């Protein structure tokens, strides 16, 4: 019998499920091609975070020189055409031939993954570059890069294009009595969809770094709008004296200065900032702290100058020593960890030669030796500080004692309101119109302002997945309120019970009843104030809800536009103008314009009006002004609405803003309002 082509293919097919898999199927990515193919593996994302990460990687190399005592001056310049320039007065990257790669050490570092001075030897005792891939990754993700090295009496240069390939060998340009490295790079638009560097983000990050390396000068200059300055023959561009936005940071006080900066809107409990900087067992421990008249704690953790938002072993050691030391000084009842943390602002920084983090984000330090070293260094120094400063000691013990008394006084209220409610099935608040779904993943909670908006939202919602909780007026400002006072507020108690997570020491994110919590307030001053109060509550007491991406702000339309029988909604003045033009008046009920035109003109206008569809623009000031259908199709319908998710890009900045806006420092709040008055959108 003749065998068909299909039968031949069937007979020759492998027995492993129909797929061939051999050595020829293994893809080998040469050089930096792996970085370009999978950039997220090296910088996390190709979004705004990854874009700025390029700057941090190059800056970190310069900062590591400063940490080693080889540099004290770094300059970061934003140039036209999305170019960035980083210069330092360190030792300069070596330019001699590398014995293994047979090309210069500079080219090896810039074009080879896991090549650098951070993998042993004596190049760096301490560095923040855990993976040692920084410079080569930045080069790989750039369309153009150039490195200029000053060392050993010479000025050397090498350029790279097309994803990190060296244009030519390193060449000596001239003699030089300087020392240091200048790196220029231009991010690749085929890798990064949007290339827009944020000035405030850069300034805030580098300010923090200046605090962490005592005596380091960091300058940032914005020359993006300048011309013909992308290639100049100066080491530091600030020497040109150009009129451009710039800022310079230099903090001789180091972490002490950082604590003072974080407390600038708060009242200190004691004058002197505690500080220690000591090395033990090859771990350098640096701690600064000060207590303030507040009920929250602010502890910032760093390992090799990398911010650890989740803390880690060094924070565990610090807290243990803090509680033990204060209890040794105190003559009364023993403090708990909660008591000694209230009102504390502290920065804990450790530096290790070999460092381990938990996870890829470096958010939590895992090095075991850091715990014992921190506890030992801090505990010994803090005990000496309290003994040598009796006034400070009395003030700190008094603050912790007050916290202990408040904790004990609040315990009954917490137990009766929270533990009973969370564990024994306290009924949901009567104001809450709950949804039918029991799945938190698909359920949404709309927090609305007042019964009017609440009634409209309850009528217009999708009852299956959408719940509505109306608030009566403005909730309590919780910035300086203890938990027992908060829970005495019916409004806050209703919200806590509705969320299902409880609050305080029994908070449990896994019990969150809705995975979309949507703040929907009116577009006026009162609505903005209520929104700020709610954001303060969530930031201070439901932070995991914010960090988990569960908190949103609704964006209801500002205008309803009728054009004949057609209806459209505009969410901004720009959209309104796009629909109807600049001159179209906003509709105000109960008024009519009188015409002073001649009879013939009136007749002509009337005839034109018949031919053109009538246009009217209605301005919404509150959700209660909408009917249920309008509210559904503009603000609640998941297929058409606009929501803004609340994210925290910089927790320390956010903390300071809440301190200033919601705290007791009236002059600072007044100054902030005056400084930003022109940026406000007012509805007068």
Please tell me the distance from the alpha carbon of residue 386 to that of residue 393, in angstroms, as a whole number: 5
User: Going by C-beta distance under 8 Å and a sequence separation of 6 or more, which residues neighbour residue 379?
Assistant: 321, 324, 325
Is 162 strand, coil or helix?
coil
State the DSSP code for 273: P
**b/e per residue, 164-198, with b = 16+ CB within 10 A?**
bebeeebeeeeebeebbbbbbbbbbeebbeeeebe
Catalytic residue among 522, 630, 655, 659: 522
> Could you tell me which residues are beta bridge partners of residue 365?
312, 357
Please tell me the distance from the alpha carbon of residue 106 to that of residue 171, in angstroms, as a whole number: 11
3-class secondary structure per residue, 191-205: CCCCCCCCHHHHHHH
Tokens of 256: 């002490």
Catalytic residue among 33, 380, 524, 575: 524
Catalytic residue among 148, 369, 449, 659: 449
* Neighbouring C-beta atoms of residue 372, cutoff 10 Å: 15
Please tell me the distance from the alpha carbon of residue 56 to that of residue 130, in angstroms, as a whole number: 13
- Is 526 in the active site? yes
Residue 487, phi-psi category: left (phi > 0), alpha (psi -120 to 50), beta (remainder): alpha
- Is 88 in the active site? no
**b/e per residue, 535-555, with b = 16+ CB within 10 A?**
bbbbbbbbeebbeeebbbbbb
Contact 88, 66 (CB under 8 A): yes
Tokens of 592: 């009519």
Q: Name residue, tokens 């090859």.
A: 282
Catalytic residue among 293, 310, 338, 526: 526
Strands of 624-676 (E only): list them. Answer: 643-645
Q: Name residue, tokens 């960091």.
A: 218
Is 281 strand, coil or helix?
coil
Contact 343, 289 (CB under 8 A): no
- Is 508 in the active site? no
Contact 172, 193 (CB under 8 A): no
* Neighbouring C-beta atoms of residue 394, cutoff 10 Å: 13
> Could you tell me which residues are beta bridge partners of residue 246?
221
Please tell me the distance from the alpha carbon of residue 315 to that of residue 327, in angstroms, as a whole number: 18
Is 594 strand, coil or helix?
coil
User: Going by C-beta distance under 8 Å and a sequence separation of 6 or more, which residues neighbour residue 376?
Assistant: 280, 317, 321
Nearest alpha carbon to residue 377 among 453, 325, 308: 325
- Is 177 in the active site? no
Q: Which of the residues are catalytic?
A: 449, 522, 524, 526
């Amino acid at each position: 019998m003749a065998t068909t082509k299909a039968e031949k293919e069937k007979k020759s097919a492998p027995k492993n499920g129909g797929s061939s898999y051999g050595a020829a199927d293994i893809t080998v990515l040469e050089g930096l091609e792996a970085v370009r193919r999978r950039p997220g593996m090296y910088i996390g994302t190709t979004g705004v975070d990854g874009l700025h990460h390029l700057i941090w990687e190059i800056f970190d190399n310069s900062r590591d020189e400063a940490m080693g005592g080889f540099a004290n001056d770094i300059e970061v310049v934003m140039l036209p055409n999305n170019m960035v320039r980083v210069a330092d007065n360190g030792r300069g990257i070596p330019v001699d031939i590398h014995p293994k790669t047979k090309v210069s050490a500079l080219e090896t570092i810039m074009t080879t993954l896991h090549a650098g001075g951070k993998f042993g030897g004596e190049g760096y005792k301490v560095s923040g570059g855990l993976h040692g891939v920084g410079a080569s990754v930045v080069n790989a993700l750039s369309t153009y890069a150039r490195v200029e090295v000053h060392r050993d009496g010479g000025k050397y240069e090498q350029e790279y294009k097309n994803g990190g390939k060296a244009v030519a060998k390193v060449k000596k340009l001239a003699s030089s009595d300087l020392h240091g490295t200048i790196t220029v790079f231009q991010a690749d638009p085929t890798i990064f969809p949007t290339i827009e560097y944020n000035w405030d983000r850069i300034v805030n990050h580098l300010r923090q770094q200046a605090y962490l390396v005592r005596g380091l000068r960091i300058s940032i200059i914005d020359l993006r709008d300048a011309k013909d300055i992308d290639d100049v023959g100066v080491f530091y561009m600030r020497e040109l004296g150009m009129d451009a936005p710039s800022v310079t940071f230099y903090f001789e006080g180091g972490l002490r200065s950082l604590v003072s900066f974080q407390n600038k809107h708060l009242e200190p409990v004691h004058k002197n900032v505690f500080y220690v900087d000591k090395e033990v067992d090859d771990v350098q421990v640096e701690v600064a702290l000060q207590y303030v008249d507040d009920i929250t704690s602010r502890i910032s953790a760093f390992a090799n100058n990398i911010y650890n938002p989740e803390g880690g072993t060094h924070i565990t050691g610090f807290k243990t020593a803090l509680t033990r030391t204060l209890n040794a000084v105190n003559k009364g009842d023993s403090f708990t960890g909660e008591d000694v943390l209230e009102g504390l602002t502290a920065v804990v920084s450790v530096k290790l030669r070999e460092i381990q983090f938990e996870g890829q984000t470096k958010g939590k330090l895992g090095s075991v030796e850091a715990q014992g070293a921190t506890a030992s260094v801090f505990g010994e120094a803090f005990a000496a500080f309290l003994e040598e400063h009796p006034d400070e000691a009395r003030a700190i013990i008094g603050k912790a004692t007050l916290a202990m008394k408040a904790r004990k006084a609040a315990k009954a209220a917490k137990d009766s309101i929270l533990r009973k409610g969370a564990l024994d099935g306290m009924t949901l608040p009567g104001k809450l119109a709950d949804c039918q779904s029991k799945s938190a993943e698909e359920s949404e909670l709309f927090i609305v302002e007042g019964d009017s908006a609440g009634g409209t939202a309850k009528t217009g919602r999708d009852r299956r997945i959408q719940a509505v909780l109306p608030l009566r007026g403005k909730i309590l400002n919780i910035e300086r309120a203890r938990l027992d006072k908060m829970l005495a507020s019916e409004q806050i108690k209703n919200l806590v019970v509705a969320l299902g997570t409880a609050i305080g020491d029994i908070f449990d994110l896994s019990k969150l009843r809705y995975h979309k919590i949507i703040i929907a307030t009116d577009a006026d001053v009162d609505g903005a104030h209520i929104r700020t109060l709610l954001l303060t509550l969530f930031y201070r007491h439901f932070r995991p809800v914010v960090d988990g991406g569960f908190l949103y702000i609704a964006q209801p339309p500002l205008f309803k536009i009728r054009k004949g029988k057609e209806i459209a909604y505009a969410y901004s003045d720009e959209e309104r103008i796009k629909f109807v033009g600049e001159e179209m008046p906003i509709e105000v009920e109960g008024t009519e314009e009188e015409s002073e035109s001649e009879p013939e003109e009136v007749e002509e206008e009337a005839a034109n009006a018949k031919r053109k569809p009538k246009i009217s623009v209605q301005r919404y000031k509150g959700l209660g002004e909408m009917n249920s259908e309008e509210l559904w199709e503009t603000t609640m319908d998941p297929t058409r609405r606009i929501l803004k998710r609340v994210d925290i890009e910089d927790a320390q900045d956010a903390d300071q803003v809440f301190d200033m806006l919601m705290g007791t420092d009236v002059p600072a709040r007044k100054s902030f309002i005056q400084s930003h008055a022109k940026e406000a959108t007012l509805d007068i």
